[in-house]
Amino acid sequence: MSSTPAILIYGDPVLRRRADDVTAIDGNLVSLAEDMLTVMYGEPGIGLAATQVGVEKRLFVYDVGDGPKAVVNPTITERDGLWLYAEGCLSLPGLFWDVIRPKEVLLTGWDLNEQPIEVEADELLARLFQHELDHLDGVLLIDHLEAEQRERALGLFEAISTGAGTLMAAGEHSEHSEHRKHSERSERSKDSEHSKHREHSDG
Ligand code: NI
């Protein structure tokens, strides 16, 4: 790709589609992964699924602090325990919700060198894998909320999207004051503080 792709935001129908299996790990796929990493590093996120840049292929990238990684045709084969975590999504920017999901997962897939990979993940990394795999299945973070909470969340999202509800959103999620501060800062100084709060959105 010659230009950096944009992240699709909630409401875009592509985010609701199941991505197709990758049939060839070739130069195009490697370029796509590189573009996705560029986009991800430009945002407060630690993971990004191809679906989020409008490409319906089963590929996601991530970096939890030990360098960029890409996973092709990922599958979660084992899940264990439960873990509560305030999860965010770059397609629902600025919002975080406490969501319980399995604490540990075993992820299998392929890397960009066509080698099989198997990663035992716990807590944050396990959460990231589940979040990105959801994206590839057309599932979004808000689908994990209770109906009433989801309705409120979508109202907030709409308010924020129209530029009217930032403070309301902040009040709504006062229990996540740490995240709120980061979100607000990300709005105000997009270029200066990425590295400090990249960990605050799962992608
Ligand atoms: Ni996401």
Domains in the chain, start-ordered, CATH in brackets?
13-202 (3.90.45.10)
104 is annotated as an active-site residue? no
Q: Which two tokens stand for residue 40?
A: 């991800």
Joined together, the tokens standing for residue 172 give: 């709504």
Instruction: Give the pLDDT confidence score for residue 121 in this predicted structure.
Output: 98
Report the range of poorest mean pLDDT among 35-44, 48-57, 175-184: 175-184
Distance from residue 77's CA to the centre of ligand 1 (Å) = 21
The rounded Å distance from CA 93 to ligand 1 centre is: 9
Give the pLDDT band (50/70/90) at residue 24: very high
Q: What is the pLDDT of residues 119-172, one digit of tens each?
A: 999 999 999 999 999 999 999 999 999 999 999 988 988 888 887 545 444 444
pTM value is 0.81
Catalytic residue among 34, 43, 132, 199: 132
